[in-house]
Structure 1
Amino acid sequence: MISTSLTPKLRTVKVLALESIGPDLEQVVSFLRCFPCLEKLYIEVMFLSC
């Protein structure tokens, strides 16, 4: 995930889909604080194989 500056208009988002490489719950939680009215969240976590 990439941190960005969010405008107040984005606070009205009802459905959000996140795509992340590797599990990073701390970043997901901090990102979700920008969307207090969120009703549905879809997360896809991709794992990189070595």
Structure 2
Amino acid sequence: MKVEIIQSQNKSELDNLINECVQDRDVKDIKLSTAVLSNNVIQYTAMIMINT
């Protein structure tokens, strides 16, 4: 299994990056999380588990 992590401060950009990453791959699972940084910016993170 391979894991790829994608981060963005914009939800639509994260969505586009996830779509690019999973295209034509055998995706096992995707975990999403958010974090509020010290400057009140929200950081969106996706961890994508890919079968190899």
Q: TM-score, normalised by structure 1?
A: 0.39
**Of Structure 1 and Structure 2, which has the larger fraction of its residues in strand?**
2
Q: TM-score, normalised by structure 2?
A: 0.38
